[in-house]
Amino acid sequence: VWVFCGDGEMDEVESLGAIGLAARENLDNLIFVINCNLQRLDGPVRGNGKIIQELEGEFRGAGWNVVKLIWGKGWDALLAADKDGALRKIMMDCNDGDYQAMKANDGAYVRKNFFGRDPRTLKMVEHLSDDEVWNLQRGGHDSQKVYAAFHAAQNHVAQPTVLLVKTVKGFGMGKIGEGKNNVHQTKKLTDEDIKAFRDRFNIPIPDSQLAEIPFYKPADDTPEMKYLHERRKALGGYLPHRRVKADESFTVPALEVFKSVMEPTAEGREISTTQAYVRFLTQLLRDQALGPRVVPILVDEARTFGMEGLFRQIGIYNPAGQNYTPVDKDQVMYYREDKAGQILQEGINEAG
């Protein structure tokens, strides 16, 4: 299960509200990919801070496997030559607001305001032109490193994984929008901007056709198109297929099973809707065919609403079982966790 998010939207409560659940359940088939371009619509996500470091702390503290993809391969040689850690120090000291500015300007700006913070790092790039300095990409735009990160995430076991991928908003738009706050409101590129975009991504469209902004599709016999067709075939086709009949079927309980809930109560005696629901659920769970498929999700209020009997009846799911003696073990309806439990008891959180 792949989940794609942006660094700005991680401030929404529901984005992080239940990440501890995934770690507790050892959901190693769950992978979050967070696009960290450091920008919201109006400005930086953490101008004075570092959103990647912040998110790393959140997820690692919750028990996730964290993979950070920050620098493209162009930086590898520089980092290998950084024997005294001067470059690494600048990388850590530079806040996200400044990182945004680096990509909103040009190579000369990066040379002066990033590498120029220390004479040692300035010397490291003296052999590079301003264009070469500008082309030192962030990790999220290096396809080989993206592949390696995805591969590592997919093969990690016993933990969910989050990929914190550093990118540039508006990548490829050049001076008109790359790394700039107005990129969301940019409606049209000039001819020069379109030409720069074409050159940057090696799109085979001649200058004579650029004004028309034609749609480009590689030929069917090119490696990229062959790959796409192979993947679609492996995934089962080009369009989703809606099945009208499931592979499994079961018998729905007869209405007579719920007779005690459907019949009116005795005169002068009333029951709450909660009581009626609990009775209905209890009957449903007793059904041999459907009962094992019912998963009640409780929100730390089972005792309040008279549902604690379910603890003993079907148990609370926990992949590790119950490695402690519950304080109410001597009671009939004690708090029972079990590897085969059906109840999801996650407390008061977004999952609940």
Domain coordinates in residue numbering, the chain: 2-234, 255-345
pLDDT band at 350 (very low <50, low <70, confident <90, very high): low
Question: Could you tell me what percentage of the chain is helix, strand and coil, using 3-state DSSP and rounding each to the nearest 5?
Answer: 45, 10, 45
| Two domains, one topology: 2-234 and 255-345 | yes
Distance CA 30, CA 1 (A): 5
User: How many CA atoms within 13 Å lie on the side-chain side of 77?
Assistant: 7
Q: Please provide the CATH number assigned to the domain covering 2-234.
A: 3.40.50.970
Asked if residues 318 and 346 have their Cβ atoms less than 8 Å apart, the reply is no
- The more confident residue out of 163 and 261 is 163
Phi-psi category of residue 315: left, alpha or beta, with phi > 0 → left and psi -120 to 50 → alpha = left
Q: Please provide the CATH number assigned to the domain covering 255-345.
A: 3.40.50.970
Tens digits of residue pLDDT in 300-346:
888 888 888 899 889 999 989 999 999 999 998 999 999 999 999 87
Asked if residues 311 and 335 have their Cβ atoms less than 8 Å apart, the reply is yes
DSSP state of 128: S
For range 241-265, the mean pLDDT:
85
Q: Is 78 exposed, middle or buried (0-12, 13-18, 19+ CB in 10 A)?
A: middle
Distance CA 201, CA 32 (A): 27
DSSP 284-296: HHH-TTTGGG---
Tens digits of residue pLDDT in 16-66:
988 998 999 899 999 999 999 999 988 999 999 999 999 999 999 999 999
CA angle 184, 190, 191 (to 5 degrees): 140
Weakest-pLDDT range from 55-64, 129-138, 231-240, 284-293:
231-240
Q: What percent of the chain has pLDDT over 70?
A: 99
What pLDDT was estimated at residue 117? Answer: 97
Contacts of 1 (CB under 8 A, 6+ apart): 29, 30, 31
User: What's the pTM value of the predicted model, to 2 decimals?
Assistant: 0.83
pLDDT surpasses 80 at 243: no
Q: Which backbone phi and psi does 56 adopt, to 5 degrees?
A: -60, -45
Distance CA 107, CA 322 (A): 58
Tens digits of residue pLDDT in 144-201:
999 999 999 999 999 999 999 999 998 888 777 788 877 777 778 888 888 988 998 8
What pLDDT was estimated at residue 189? Answer: 81
Distance CA 212, CA 333 (A): 73
Asked if residues 45 and 51 have their Cβ atoms less than 8 Å apart, the reply is yes
Distance CA 205, CA 198 (A): 8
Distance CA 231, CA 245 (A): 26
